A and B are shown apart, each in its own frame.
Chain A
């Protein structure tokens, strides 16, 4: 079975450019999570969706970040405009979710973003 799919795997862009990261969750999973990983701050939850609806976006760092989930099989995380401090590995994860606190989250391979 396919796991969580993320694209691109690597993205190098220049400051000020728009960046779009994509995620396809595991089929049948109701929850989708976006995380950011950096050496300084570790793993941070940015936002999560339940049944395509954003539930908690309190981790989104600022208005330059936005996320959408137009359907159950696709989500995007957009940064506009990008800044060098956005350089990180961005992970998407999904889970089944009937018992949110105990369900396993399945992570994608991540997108390594470098903003020059």
Chain B
């Protein structure tokens, strides 16, 4: 079945460091790919998405490119801030209309 695998956390970085969170997927067909972010005590919010191969999603300095050949959708940010501390979820949207989530990666950014 469809699945998403993320790098394990927690990830701890200093402010202004470069961030990469790896995400790979297994799916039949051509899923859409998403990154959601969950701040402490809140629900998930869409961060960015890409709906077809080679699409790049971007928002708030974060970027991810849909790589069909490597079945990946890695999240990157050039310079993280303390306010980026949160849990990040990679997800795929399959043809059945479901979102399949990865296990989440906790990011902690220190000043």
Contacts and interface: CB of A to CB of B under 8 A. Distances in A.
Interface residue range, chain B: 20 to 34
A54 interface: no
B44 A101 contact: no
The B contact surface, by secondary structure, is loop
Interface string A26-45: 00000101000000001101
B103 A42 contact: yes
A85 interface: no
B47 to A, nearest CB: 10
A32 to B, nearest CB: 12
Contacts of B98: 45, 48, 56
A110 B43 contact: yes
16 contacts: A4-B43, A31-B97, A43-B89, A45-B98, A48-B97, A55-B97, A91-B43, A97-B97, A100-B96, A100-B97, A102-B51, A103-B93, A104-B46, A107-B45, A109-B42, A109-B43
